[in-house]
Chains A and B, each alone.
Chain A
Amino acid sequence: MALAKTIAMLVMIAYSPIVYGQCAFTLSGKVTDISGSRVQGVLIGIDSLDKAALSTAGGEYHIEDLCPGSYKVTCTAVGFRSQIRTVTLSENARMDWVLLPDTTLLNEVLIKGHQQEGLSTLAQSSLSAESLFKSRSESLGESLKQIPGLNSVQMGPTLSKPVIHGLHSHRILILNNGVRQEGQQWGNDHAPEIDPFTADKVSVIKGAASIMYGSDAISGVVLLEPDSLPTVPGLHGNASVVAASNGRMGAASAMGEGAFGHRLQGLSWRLQGTLKRAGNFSTPHYYMSNTGLKETDFSAAAGYVRGDLKMNVYYSQYNSKIGIFDGSHVGNLDDLEAAFKRPRPITPSYFSYKINRSYQSVHHRLWKATAGYSFSNNGSLELKYARQWDLRDEYDIDIPYSQDPAVLNMPQVSFKLVTHTLDVVYREPGSARFSGSIGLSGSTQGNVFKGLRYLIPNFRNYGGGIYAIEHYHKDHWDLEGGLRYDYLWLRVYQRNQTTLGLYHSTFDYSNASGTVGAGYRFSSRFSAKLNVGTGWRAPSINELYIHGVHFSAATYELGDSTLSSEHSFNTTLNVHYASGSFQADLDVYDNEIDHFIYAKPTLEPVTIISGTYPAFQYTQDNVRLSGFDLEASYGFLKHFDITSKTGIVRGFNKSIHDYLIQMPSDRFDNTLAYRLDSLGRFRNCSISLQNISVRKQNRVPPNSDYVPPPDGYSLLNADISFQLPLQKKKRLDIDFAAKNLTNKAYRDYLNLFRYYTDDLGLNLVLSGKFTF
């Protein structure tokens, strides 16, 4: 019977040329057997549309040109049970199948798969599994630089934060496992408290995504998602090891997962942990003392699926101790100026794993529980609760002046932030033309600051938001629109320095945001989408209340508690072209931000006991960020391909008619690769040579910085990688990379330690991953 049906459907595909090009969605996935090995030649079909596809050698299948709507999908293969499942398409979707022998007695086969969330007319890019594997030695901020339009703002070799279209910190959101990452993200040196090994998929939304995620998503969103939990009984997992010559860095990460059968059918679990250690990193000519790193991370997840109900709990822990480069300690402006004049830091050059003062000790814990229910009308409801606990202790290079041993061991500044978030999303059943969702979200945060010197005050906030997004699809067109309203209440608690009396100040902020977008498919090769959206952000606690010396920048910063919210108006146009071996993506954007908050130099310097400092006052102006990202790849001569990426951003202060400081300079990334699908026992072999060229940032306002931006630079990287399939569908992935191959001395404008030291020299990285 199954065989007959297969043949019938094969005949059907063979005789149905592509006549349904007007709908743009793709349903794809992989087909595996119960042991996890991929199965070729399985027929996946949508009977009502007469559409079907056969799985490839890699077990992958794609059914293209689907309209939005709800479909019954069948999976048929000789010797296996036929299966039928329903999918509701409003986006490209994945549906993975696990084949069961014809004689199996298991009642149900579970399908893992989920629809992509978000706005389809915004530009979105992801890191492929391959590039994610190759960037395992890097921090999140560094690995995202592979996506055009992304940069990273750094403080030395270990502290790195992603920059999207010129903006970072509290102007972008990081969504870790579906939860807004909440730490002290306002600080340039406060890197995201995330173990990148937990993520199986990393993608970036470029543009104002406030509609979906609330405030702060002014310039974009970084999404980190783990793979879905397994559904087939058995133990699986992977183990990764990374060794790097620079910093003599070593990282090991392991993950194990499984699902239960029989009476515990539907229950699955995953355990994961990472250890990372690095010593002093080196530039081409010297070591940077005290730049080591120690990180210990752990996560656990459990899921339960029964009928239409899905439940999930997740816990993760991030613990790190990060040394701060000794040469970056400057007491005052004179120290800073002396540091600029030195061709190399005065600090001793040596290797050690020891982390001395000053350092940061950061702990982050996340608890998350989700529950989802699919209704009989194909609508679904999801509840998500998360609690994040973030403790950041910073130890200055100076031991406090005290005789008390307890004070001597105390961090100079300590922040504890506890965040609770609750999200409820209802996805409507959807029809062939319409799909959409409505959501409610609530959050509260309590911030406790302790310190030997003042930095920011304590606060409590409560936030709430409500939104609706609707998507319409017809023929070549996709239209979508959304509305959102947010409210934020903030109370700041302080103590009068002289009377020691407690007092508080209360603020509230509210904002309505909206988005409209349209996508048009000119042909199966060429499509374009345009999105216009607004975003907002309430001023952060440092902008309102910081008061004191910013260490390592030798500036005196003054907050302003009367600042109002920032509002952005963001337009993005994305054009996509793909034909055979050529593919190109262009994003053009313009982000107009009103009441943009920044630290403006004041004319009067501030004199305190440790010296004289230039003063900066937080203020607001209207600014514009615009630019484009281009990515193109071309395959030639059978095994060669070339990929070219360009990121250009311009930041301009419209109020004072001058450039914005700290904007990424033009970046060009070109890679030539030679690939072989198989070579003896090896699979997916590649060898590549990459050139990264960054131009000098010439667009800076005069007298805004102590030293002019550093010169541009051009780096060469090389990479060799392959896979080795082992017995019983086990696999070994190996990657060997040489970064900064010519050991070139350079400084990057966005690395705030460029005042004091060169950037990293040659780094040889060996990464291995064993999958079982």
Chain B
Amino acid sequence: MKKVISYASAVIILTVLWGSCKKDEQAVAPPVPENEFLTTVELKVVNESDPSDVQTASWIDLDPDDDTPPDVSKAKLTLKANTKYTVQVLFWDDTKTPRGDVTAEIKERENYHLICFTATSGLDLTVKRTDHDTNSPALEVGLEDEFTTGAASSGTLNVELRHQPNVKDGTCDPGSTDADVNYQITIQ
């Protein structure tokens, strides 16, 4: 009987050793290449009365999961007073070269997304979304907009990308935030 036990224990110990020899934990999975991170939010503004007046403001966080502070040095716009601008909001993955275009995916899922703009009280800026999704009735998206500036002033414009699967109702309340960035705007 003791023989049986010693055989049994030998088998068990071998199984443990064999099982633990498959070292798949050592092959740390590399980042999934087709997955795109949101790293950069750009505002591309074109003066409607002067198409050569084009500006781009960028809010960049190259390590989106990390706690290192974002690069906001280019998150600035200087606009002319009492002027209309055609605006595009662009989302990029700058961890890749060439940079990944996340805007296309958001456009594809426009029925789930809404971009919300909030200007600080001193800033004389009106934002109107000009594009619509395919919900019925169609709701605004905000990837394309029109900025109307008033008198000379300055302040912060907050841009939020809201993710609203199955709950989009045209307001900013439902859903959760995918991007929440600030731009310094000067109107002169």
Contact = CB atoms under 8 A, between A and B. Distances in A.
Contacts of A548: 65
Interface stretch (A472-480, A511-519, A601-609, A702-710): A601-609
A420 B30 contact: no
B136 interface: no
Contact of A609 (B4, B8, B25, B41): B41
Interface in B1-59: 1, 4-5, 8-9, 12-13, 15-16, 19-20, 22-26, 28-32, 34-39, 41, 59
A398 B26 contact: no
A609 B65 CA distance: 9
Interface of A is mostly: strand
Interface string A375-418: 00000010101010000000001111111101100100000001
Contacts of A444: 16, 19-20
B155 interface: no
Interface in A445-493: 446-454, 457-460, 462, 493
Nearest to A387: B19
Contact of A385 (B15, B29, B166, B175): B15
Interface string B169-181: 0000111111111
Interface stretch (B66-74, B82-90, B124-132, B145-153): B66-74
B184 to A, nearest CB: 15
Nearest to A405: B34
Contact of A401 (B30, B102, B173, B176): B102
Given A347-B167, A420-B20, A494 B28 contact: yes
A446 B24 contact: yes
B23 A407 contact: no
Contact of A338 (B13, B105, B167, B173): B173
Interface string A332-346: 101100100000001
A232 B15 CA distance: 33
Interface stretch (A205-213, A323-331, A570-578): A323-331
A381 B5 contact: yes
Interface residues of B, number: 58
- For this complex, into which size category does the number of interface residues on chain A fall? 35 or more
Could you say which of B30, B67, B178 has the most chain A C-beta atoms within 10 Å of its C-beta? B67
Contact of B66 (A383, A500, A547): A547
A523 to B, nearest CB: 45
A373 B177 contact: no
Contacts of A448: 24-25, 29
B52 to A, nearest CB: 31
A291 to B, nearest CB: 15
A500 B66 CA distance: 16
Contact of A608 (B4, B36, B64, B175): B64
A1 interface: no
A102 interface: no
A177 to B, nearest CB: 17
Interface in A350-375: 356-357, 369, 371, 373
B176 A330 contact: yes
Contacts of A649: none
Contacts of B30: 495, 500
B99 interface: no
Contacts, number: 168
A168 B8 CA distance: 36
A373 B5 contact: yes
Contacts of A462: 20
A609 B38 contact: yes
A502 B23 CA distance: 14
A48 B112 CA distance: 80
Nearest to B100: A401
A608 B65 contact: yes
Given A383-B5, A547-B66, A556-B67, A422 B13 contact: yes
A611 B5 contact: no
A400 B23 CA distance: 29
A558 B179 contact: no
A287 B19 CA distance: 46
A606 B67 contact: yes
A116 B185 CA distance: 74
A457 B28 contact: yes
A353 B120 CA distance: 44
A348 B167 contact: yes
Contacts of A558: 67
A401 B19 CA distance: 37
Contacts of A457: 28
A491 B175 CA distance: 40
Given A357-B165, A371-B8, A609 B70 contact: yes
Contacts of B9: 383, 424
22 contacts: A326-B167, A331-B162, A338-B173, A346-B174, A347-B167, A348-B166, A348-B167, A356-B166, A371-B5, A385-B12, A398-B176, A398-B178, A401-B36, A401-B106, A452-B32, A460-B25, A502-B28, A547-B66, A608-B65, A608-B66, A610-B178, A610-B180
> Which 10 pairs from chain A and chain B are nearest by CB?
A331-B177, A404-B34, A611-B180, A331-B176, A458-B25, A401-B36, A385-B12, A495-B28, A329-B176, A446-B25
Interface of B: 1, 4-5, 8-9, 12-13, 15-16, 19-20, 22-26, 28-32, 34-39, 41, 59, 61, 63-67, 69-70, 93, 100, 102, 104-106, 109, 162-163, 165-167, 173-181
Given A356-B166, A410-B35, 17 more contacts: A348-B167, A381-B5, A383-B9, A383-B12, A400-B35, A406-B34, A410-B32, A422-B16, A451-B29, A458-B25, A493-B28, A495-B28, A502-B28, A547-B66, A609-B41, A611-B180, A612-B180
Interface of A: 308-309, 326, 329-332, 334-335, 338, 346-348, 356-357, 369, 371, 373, 381, 383, 385, 387, 397-404, 406-407, 410, 418, 420, 422, 424, 442, 444, 446-454, 457-460, 462, 493-495, 497, 500, 502, 504, 547-549, 556, 558, 606-612, 615
